[in-house]
C-alpha cells in the first residue's frame, strides 16, 4: 500500500505541475495580449491604414496643453468645428475696395465688376495652421460653400441685405473670388502643407432656406454653382502644383439614404475632368438608424464607383454604453472590410475630442468621456481593426490607387462633324418599330417626367422643337414647357432613362443624329454617352407607355425615328381695302381757343412707411443647434 500510495502521490504532483505550467502559459499569453492592446491607439492603427485619424477641434482646445496632448495620442488630423466656415471668415471688419483687397493678396477675377469686396479674416485660421505645423498634425479645411453659416449679405447687391439679390454672373465672380482667396491664403503661407483635403461643397442635397438657390434657382442634380466651386478649387490646386496631393470633397449627411443621387451629382461634376476626389460621409449616426449594413452598402457603392471616401464627422447617438459598444463594433467591422477590399478610405474624423465638447445635447456619442479618457467603445473600435488587419498598423494593399485605371472610351458612332441635320423647328418623332410617337407621359410639365411611346394624338407632349447649339449638338424641347429631353443623371450606361428636365443646356440634354434608311429617319445619339448610345424603346416594346431609354447602338428599327415636320399655320393676309378717295377738306373756321384751365395743385403724397423685414434663418440644422 505504501508503494502504491507513493506512486499515486508522485503522479498527482506531476499532473499539478503540468497544470500550473499550462496556467502560467495562458496567463503569460493573456498578459502579452493585454500589453499589445494597451499599446494600440487610433493613431497607430487607423492612422496608418486609413492614413488620417482625425477629430473636430477649436482653437481654444489646441491652446490647452492637456487637450493637445490627448489629441496627439490618437489623432494626426483635425477639422475646425466652425472657425473656417464662411461666417467665421467674412465681415469682421466690413468691406474693402477692390484695390485694397488686391493689395492684401485677395484674388479678384477679371469678371469681378463690383467696387467692394468683403473683408476676410484669417487670424484664427493662421494660428491653427501654425499649431498643426509645429505638432505634426494635418488639417481638413471645412468648408468653402455651404447654404448655412454663410452671411446673407454675401448674396445681395453691394453686400447690403436691404438691397436685392445679385445676378448669377455676379455670384459666379463672388464665388471665384472667395474660393481662390481662401485657398491662395493657405497655400501662399508658411504652413499650407498641413491642409490635405477641402470640403468644397457641404450639404447641397439637404439645403433649406438657401441663398444659393435664391440666386441660381432650383438646380436639382445639375447645380452649376457647385461645379464651378470645384473648378475654382481645382484650378487653385493646379496653380500650386497640389492637384495630386490634396483631395477635394463633396460632403453631406445621410449619404446612406441618397447614395445614388450623391453619385449622380458627383459624376456630373466630373463630367469633363475629375475635379472632385470623392465623397465625405458625415456619419452623424445612431444605434437605431442606420444599420451598419445599410451604412456600409452606401460606403461600398461610393468606393466601387472609383471615388475616395472620408468619414468626416462621425458620432453615435445611443441608448447606453452597451448599445454604443455593440453598434460601433459592427459598424467598424464593415468599414474595415471596405478598406481591406478597396483601400480608398483616406480618413476617419470623430466629431469631437470627447463627450465634454459634443454638439449633441444629452448624449455621450464619442469614444472618450473626457480628453484622453477612453470608454469601452474605444476598445471595440480597436477590436474591429485588429480582427481585420492584425495588431500592427497595416497599409492596405487591395486597390491601393486612388482611382481605377481608366479604360479606353469606345469610339463614338457619330460626332458633331459627321452628324446628320434636320431643319430647326417643330416635329412629331415616330418610332419605326412601334409606329408610335415620342411622348411626355401625361403631358406633365415636371422635372424627371418619363418620355414614352404613345399613339399619335397631336398633344403638346408629342411635339418637339429641334434647335442647335454652337457645338453642333441639338436639343429637343417639349411643347409642354421649357423642358428638354434629358438622360437621367447624365449617365453613360445602357438602360439610362430618357426623361424631360428643365432647360439648362447640359450634356445630358445634347443629342446628335445619324441618318437611317427611310425618308426623314434617324438614330438619336446622346452626348453623355460620347455618341455611342441612342434613344431606344425599352425591350423593343410597341405598346403605349413603353419607356424610352438610351442603349448601345445596334442599327435596329427599335432605334430608328422618323421626324415628321409639323406645319406651322400661316396667317392668311387680310385683303387690302381699296382706299377711298380722300375728300377735299372743308376750310375750318378758326375757333377762338378756350383758355386752358389752370390745373389744380396735386396733393403732395404722404411718404410711405418703409417696413424692414429681417429674415430669420429657420434652417433645420441651425434651429437644432447643429453646427457642422
Q: Give pLDDT, residue 435.
A: 97
* pLDDT at 437 > cutoff 50: yes
Distances (CA, A) of 243 to 198, 221, 235: 12, 25, 8
- For the chain, the first-to-last Cα distance in angstroms comes to 84
What confidence category does residue 208 fall into, taking pLDDT thresholds of 50, 70 and 90? confident
- The C-alpha cell 456619419 sits at 283
Q: Give pLDDT, residue 496.
A: 87
> Average pLDDT in the 599-628 region?
37
Q: What is the DSSP letter of 192?
A: G
Question: pLDDT tens digits, residue range 470-487?
Answer: 889 999 999 999 999 999
What confidence category does residue 571 fall into, taking pLDDT thresholds of 50, 70 and 90? low
CA angle at residue 204 from 200 to 206, to 5 degrees?
145
Q: Are 342 and 301 in contact, with CB atoms under 8 Å apart?
A: no
* pLDDT at 18 > cutoff 60: no
Q: State pTM to two decimals.
A: 0.62
Question: pLDDT tens digits, residue range 389-423?
Answer: 987 677 765 444 444 444 455 788 998 989 999 99
Lowest mean pLDDT among 263-277, 536-550, 566-580: 566-580
What confidence category does residue 535 fall into, taking pLDDT thresholds of 50, 70 and 90? very high
**Distance of alpha carbon 198 from its chain centroid, rounded?**
13
Of 489 and 525, which is predicted with more confidence? 525
* pLDDT at 8 > cutoff 70: no
Q: What is the DSSP letter of 153?
A: G
Q: Which residues are catalytically annotated?
A: 313
Q: Which three cell numbers stand for residue 42?
A: 487610433
> Average pLDDT in the 557-580 region?
73
List of E strands, 496-616: 498-502, 511-515, 521-526, 533-537, 548-552, 561-565
* pLDDT at 545 > cutoff 80: yes
Q: How crowded is residue 196: how many other Cβ atoms within 10 Å of its Cβ?
A: 18
Question: pLDDT tens digits, residue range 341-393?
Answer: 999 999 999 999 999 999 998 899 999 999 999 999 999 999 999 999 987 67
Question: pLDDT tens digits, residue range 27-65?
Answer: 443 333 344 456 899 999 999 999 999 999 999 999 999
* pLDDT at 507 > cutoff 70: yes
The share of the chain scoring above pLDDT 90, in percent, equals 73
Q: Which three cell numbers stand for residue 379?
A: 476598445
Q: Give pLDDT, residue 591.
A: 42
Map out the domains of the chain with their CATH numbers.
45-389 (3.20.20.80), 416-565 (2.80.10.50)
* pLDDT at 616 > cutoff 50: no
Q: Give pLDDT, residue 451.
A: 97
**Alpha-carbon distance 201 to 229, whole Å?**
8
CB burial readout 43-65, b (16+ within 10 A) else e? bbbbbbbbbbbbbbbbbebbeee
Q: Give pLDDT, residue 32.
A: 36
Q: Give pLDDT, residue 397.
A: 55
Q: Give pLDDT, residue 22.
A: 38
Question: pLDDT tens digits, residue range 441-481?
Answer: 999 999 889 999 999 999 999 999 999 998 899 999 999 99
> Average pLDDT in the 137-147 region?
97
Amino acid at each position: 500500500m505504501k508503494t502504491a500510495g507513493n506512486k499515486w502521490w508522485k503522479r498527482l504532483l506531476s499532473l499539478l505541475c503540468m497544470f500550473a505550467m499550462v496556467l502560467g502559459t495562458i496567463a503569460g499569453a493573456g498578459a502579452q495580449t493585454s500589453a499589445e492592446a494597451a499599446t494600440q491607439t487610433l493613431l497607430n492603427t487607423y492612422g496608418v491604414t486609413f492614413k488620417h485619424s482625425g477629430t473636430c477641434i477649436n482653437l481654444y482646445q489646441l491652446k490647452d496643453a492637456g487637450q493637445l496632448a490627448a489629441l496627439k495620442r490618437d489623432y494626426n488630423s483635425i477639422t475646425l468645428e466652425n472657425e473656417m466656415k464662411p461666417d467665421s471668415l467674412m465681415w469682421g471688419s466690413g468691406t474693402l475696395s477692390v484695390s485694397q483687397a488686391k493689395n492684401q493678396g485677395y484674388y479678384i477675377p477679371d469678371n469681378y465688376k463690383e467696387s467692394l469686396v468683403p473683408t476676410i479674416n484669417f487670424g484664427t485660421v493662421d494660428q491653427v495652421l501654425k499649431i498643426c505645423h509645429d505638432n505634426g498634425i494635418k488639417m481638413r479645411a471645412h468648408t468653402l460653400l455651404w447654404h448655412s453659416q454663410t452671411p446673407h449679405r454675401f448674396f445681395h447687391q453691394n453686400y447690403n441685405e436691404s438691397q436685392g439679390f445679385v445676378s448669377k454672373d455676379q455670384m459666379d465672380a463672388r464665388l471665384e473670388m472667395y474660393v481662390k482667396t481662401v485657398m491662395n491664403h493657405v497655400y501662399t503661407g508658411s504652413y499650407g502643407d498641413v491642409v490635405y483635403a477641402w470640403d468644397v461643397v457641404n450639404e447641397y442635397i439637404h439645403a433649406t432656406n438657401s441663398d444659393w438657390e435664391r440666386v441660381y434657382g432650383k438646380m436639382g442634380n445639375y447645380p452649376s454653382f457647385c461645379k464651378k466651386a470645384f473648378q475654382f478649387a481645382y484650378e487653385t490646386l493646379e496653380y500650386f502644383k497640389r492637384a495630386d496631393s490634396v483631395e477635394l470633397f463633396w460632403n453631406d449627411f445621410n449619404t446612406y439614404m441618397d447614395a445614388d443621387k450623391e453619385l449622380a451629382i458627383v459624376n456630373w461634376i466630373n463630367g469633363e475632368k475629375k475635379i472632385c476626389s470623392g465623397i465625405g460621409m458625415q456619419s452623424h449616426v445612431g444605434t437605431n438608424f442606420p444599420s451598419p449594413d445599410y451604412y456600409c452598402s452606401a460606403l461600398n457603392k461610393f468606393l466601387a464607383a472609383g471615388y475616395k471616401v472620408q468619414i468626416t464627422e462621425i458620432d453615435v447617438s445611443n441608448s447606453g454604453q452597451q448599445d454604443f459598444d455593440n453598434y460601433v463594433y459592427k459598424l467598424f467591422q464593415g468599414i474595415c472590410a471596405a478598406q481591406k477590399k478597396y483601400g480608398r478610405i483616406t480618413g476617419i474624423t470623430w466629431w469631437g475630442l470627447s463627450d465634454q465638447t459634443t454638439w449633441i445635447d444629452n448624449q455621450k456619442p464619442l469614444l472618450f468621456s473626457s480628453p484622453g479618457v477612453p470608454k469601452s467603445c474605444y476598445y471595440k473600435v480597436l477590436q474591429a481593426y485588429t480582427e481585420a488587419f492584425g495588431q500592427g498598423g497595416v497599409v492596405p494593399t487591395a486597390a491601393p490607387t486612388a482611382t481605377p485605371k481608366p479604360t479606353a472610351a469606345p469610339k463614338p458612332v457619330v460626332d458633331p462633324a459627321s452628324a446628320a441635320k434636320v431643319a430647326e423647328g417643330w416635329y412629331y418623332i415616330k418610332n419605326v418599330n412601334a409606329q408610335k410617337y415620342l411622348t411626355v407621359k401625361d403631358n406633365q410639365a415636371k422635372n424627371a417626367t418619363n418620355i414614352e411611346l404613345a399613339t399619335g394624338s397631336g398633344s403638346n407632349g408629342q411635339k418637339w422643337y429641334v434647335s442647335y447649339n454652337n457645338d453642333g449638338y441639338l436639343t429637343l424641347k417639349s411643347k409642354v414647357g421649357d423642358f428638354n429631353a434629358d438622360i437621367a443623371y447624365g449617365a453613360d450606361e445602357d438602360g439610362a432613362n430618357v426623361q424631360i428636365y428643365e432647360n439648362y443646356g447640359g450634356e445630358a440634354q445634347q443629342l446628335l443624329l445619324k441618318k437611317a434608311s427611310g425618308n426623314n429617319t434617324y438614330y438619336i445619339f446622346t452626348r453623355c454617352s460620347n455618341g455611342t448610345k441612342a434613344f431606344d424603346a425599352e425591350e423593343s416594346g410597341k405598346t403605349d407607355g413603353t419607356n424610352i431609354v438610351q442603349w448601345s447602338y445596334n442599327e435596329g428599327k427599335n432605334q430608328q425615328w422618323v421626324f415628321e415636320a409639323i406645319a406651322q399655320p400661316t396667317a392668311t393676309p387680310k385683303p387690302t381695302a381699296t382706299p377711298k378717295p380722300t375728300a377735299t377738306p372743308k376750310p375750318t373756321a378758326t375757333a377762338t381757343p378756350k383758355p386752358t384751365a389752370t390745373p389744380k395743385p396735386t396733393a403732395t403724397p404722404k411718404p410711405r412707411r418703409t417696413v424692414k423685414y429681417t429674415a430669420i434663418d429657420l434652417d433645420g440644422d441651425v434651429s437644432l443647434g447643429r453646427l457642422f
